[in-house]
Amino acid sequence: MTATDYKFEGWLGLDASSADGKMVWGEFEPKPWEETDVDIKVTHCGICGSDLHTLRSGWGPTLYPCCVGHEIVGTVVRVGSEVKNGLKLGDRVGVGAQSDSCMNRINGDCEACSSGNENYCQNKHVGTYNGVYLNGGKSYGGYATYNRSPSNFVVKIPDGISSAEAAPMLCGGVTTYAPLKHHGAGPGKTVGIIGLGGLGHFGVMWAKALGADKVVVISRSGVKKEDAFKMGADQFIATAEEEDWTSKYKSTIDLLLCTVSDTRMPVAGYLSLLKMDGTFIQVGLPDDGFPTFQQKPLIFKRVKITGSLIGSPNDIREMFALAEEKGVRPWISVIGMKDANKAILDFEDGKPRYRFVLENQENGAARL
Ligand code: NAP
Ligand code: ZN
């Protein structure tokens, strides 16, 4: 099969109004082919909060036309002659939120790329959409029929995980797995997950799978309480409903992972939950930045504030292995690709329980 046998088509955002459910279906020009690339016939793509930030130019001007979607699963239909990681035609693969880094091609030896931390490459981080590759081509995401990505960022999906379930793991999954693992979520630790959405629900399940003593969900209301316990949470805090939550649960948590993307979030209250030397990890990315807050907890409890960006291809492989071993699977609703505009509106309304996955039935999307 050659590149001309199929068309790259998808839902395109043409301007910021596309986030209001106004993406239009159309053809796009993938990056100029290189022999290190693979083409993927997309069967599934999860909907991530980042898709909405990008469609509305929330983080800065988006390079329209833009096809979002970075939780991509499909089958390999073309493999470059210099692909070295063993990918073959017909393989079931995935691409997460990053599809290229400098890979030591810019300033010589890159500390991040050489140490398996490609997600922290400071020379070139190409997002799976709204990015520009070294060869000048633009990156287009997975609300589409086909995707072209550099092979280093294409990962095989283990046989035991269905395509629909694997999709949200590629961004939402690894974005929570990587920092929890890095910061030692495990035996002896109490872990708090703030915001029970797509990222947050993974956070709860990973913290349990990694062996944390106790997992606490910090949500706004009690609406998701029952779900949180089914996911494995041991405790639930509803910040908008329990008036005394900051004092009641004061200094009880070692590690807090915050997935909230609203700059009005009560950061000082969240920090009050941390024990001495506790760590607050921000992964949510509000359009307006991190809120200002009273510095007292930093000083009086020596707590640390840090952040974390997605995960490397190796983190993704490791996450899949843990998911297989411990039976971690996302809670998803599968929606036809044709209904993507309605799906992003529902996403903005907070309806996913807990991830929407778009499916291209005509591309042979078979669920295991
Ligand atoms: P999501 O499914 O909408 O989840 C976000 C959750 O935040 C909501 O379910 C809600 O949980 C909580 N929340 C929303 N508004 C809030 C408010 N005003 N105050 C307090 N909590 C609020 O979104 P997502 O896909 O998980 O993405 C979350 C964020 O992570 C986005 O900003 C996204 O861009 C970012 N992200 C970052 C990375 C990274 O590498 N760092 C990667 C992927 C995504 P409750 O209903 O439980 O309160
Ligand atoms: Zn994402």
What CA–CA distance (Å, rounded) separates 161 from 243?
Answer: 42
What CA–CA distance (Å, rounded) separates 267 from 101?
Answer: 32
Residue of minimum CA distance from atom 1 in ligand 1: 197
265 close to ligand 1 (CB < 6 Angstrom): yes
* 174 C-alpha to ligand 2 centroid (Å): 9
Phi, psi (deg, nearest 5) at residue 94: -140, 155
Question: Looking at the predicted structure, is the pLDDT value of residue 291 above 80?
Answer: yes
Ligand 1 binding pocket mutation candidate from 193, 199, 257 (most atoms within 8 A of CB) = 199
Task: Give me the pLDDT at residue 363, please.
Answer: 83
pLDDT tens-digit series, residues 172-215:
999 999 999 999 999 999 999 999 999 999 999 999 999 999 99
Residue of minimum CA distance from atom 15 in ligand 1: 262
Per-residue pLDDT band for 1 (boundaries 50, 70, 90) equals: very low
238 close to ligand 1 (CB < 6 Angstrom): no
48 close to ligand 1 (CB < 6 Angstrom): yes
Closest atom of ligand 1 relative to the 196 alpha carbon: 47
Task: Give me the pLDDT at residue 205, please.
Answer: 99
Task: Give me the pLDDT at residue 297, please.
Answer: 85
Question: Looking at the predicted structure, is the pLDDT value of residue 56 above 70?
Answer: yes
* 206 C-alpha to ligand 2 centroid (Å): 17
* 74 C-alpha to ligand 1 centroid (Å): 26
Which pair of tokens denotes residue 298?
């930093």
Residue of minimum CA distance from atom 34 in ligand 1: 50
Region 10-16 average pLDDT: 98
Return the bridge partners of 148, or none.
Answer: 39
Task: Give me the pLDDT at residue 283, please.
Answer: 98
Question: Looking at the predicted structure, is the pLDDT value of residue 364 above 70?
Answer: yes
Task: Give me the pLDDT at residue 366, please.
Answer: 56
Residue of minimum CA distance from atom 29 in ligand 1: 284
Helix (H), strand (E), coil (C) string for the chain: CCHHHCCCEEEEECCHHHHHCCCEEEECCCCCCCCCEEEEEEEEEECCHHHHHHHCCCCCCCCCCECCCCCEEEEEEEECCCCCCCCCCCCEEEECCEEEECCCCCCCCCHHHHCCCHHHCCCCEEECCCCECCCCCECCCCCECEEEEEHHHEEECCCCCCHHHHHHHHHHHHHHHHHHHHCCCCCCCEEEEECCCHHHHHHHHHHHHCCCCEEEEEECCCCCHHHHHHHCCCEEEECCCCCCHHHHCCCCEEEEEECCCCCCCCHHHHHHCEEEEEEEEECCCCCCCCCCCCCHHHHHHCCEEEECCCCCHHHHHHHHHHHHHHCCCCCEEEEEHHHHHHHHHHHHCCCCCCEEEEECHHHCCCCC
* 261 C-alpha to ligand 2 centroid (Å): 12
Ligand 1 binding pocket mutation candidate from 47, 50, 70, 204 (most atoms within 8 A of CB) = 50
What CA–CA distance (Å, rounded) separates 254 from 152?
Answer: 35
49 close to ligand 1 (CB < 6 Angstrom): yes
pLDDT tens-digit series, residues 61-103:
999 999 999 999 999 999 999 999 999 999 999 999 999 999 9
Task: Give me the pLDDT at residue 223, please.
Answer: 98
What CA–CA distance (Å, rounded) separates 68 from 124?
Answer: 19
CATH of 172-307, one of 1.10.580.10, 3.40.50.720, 3.40.50.920, 3.30.70.260: 3.40.50.720
Task: Give me the pLDDT at residue 212, please.
Answer: 98
Let me know: does 217 contact 236? Beta carbons within 8 Å: yes
Region 343-368 average pLDDT: 89
Closest atom of ligand 1 relative to the 200 alpha carbon: 26
Q: What are the sequence ranges of the domains in the chain?
A: 3-161+329-367, 172-307
* 79 C-alpha to ligand 1 centroid (Å): 35
Ligand whose nearest atom lies closest to the CA of 283: 1
Task: Give me the pLDDT at residue 187, please.
Answer: 98
* 46 C-alpha to ligand 2 centroid (Å): 9
Q: What is the CATH number of domain 3-161+329-367?
A: 3.90.180.10
Please state, rounded to an integer, the average pLDDT across all residues of the chain: 96
Task: Give me the pLDDT at residue 195, please.
Answer: 98
**pTM over 0.95, yes/no:** yes
pLDDT-above-90 percentage for the chain: 95
* 284 C-alpha to ligand 1 centroid (Å): 6
Task: Give me the pLDDT at residue 5, please.
Answer: 84
What CA–CA distance (Å, rounded) separates 290 from 277?
Answer: 21
Task: Give me the pLDDT at residue 368, please.
Answer: 39
Cis upstream peptide for 270 (omega within 30°):
no
Per-residue pLDDT band for 362 (boundaries 50, 70, 90) equals: confident
Which pair of tokens denotes residue 86?
């063993």
84 close to ligand 1 (CB < 6 Angstrom): no
What CA–CA distance (Å, rounded) separates 257 from 354?
Answer: 17
* 299 C-alpha to ligand 1 centroid (Å): 27
Question: Looking at the predicted structure, is the pLDDT value of residue 10 above 60?
Answer: yes
Closest atom of ligand 1 relative to the 223 alpha carbon: 46
Region 122-137 average pLDDT: 98
Task: Give me the pLDDT at residue 36, please.
Answer: 98
pLDDT tens-digit series, residues 312-340:
999 999 999 999 999 999 999 999 999 99
* 247 C-alpha to ligand 2 centroid (Å): 33
Per-residue pLDDT band for 245 (boundaries 50, 70, 90) equals: very high
Region 257-262 average pLDDT: 97
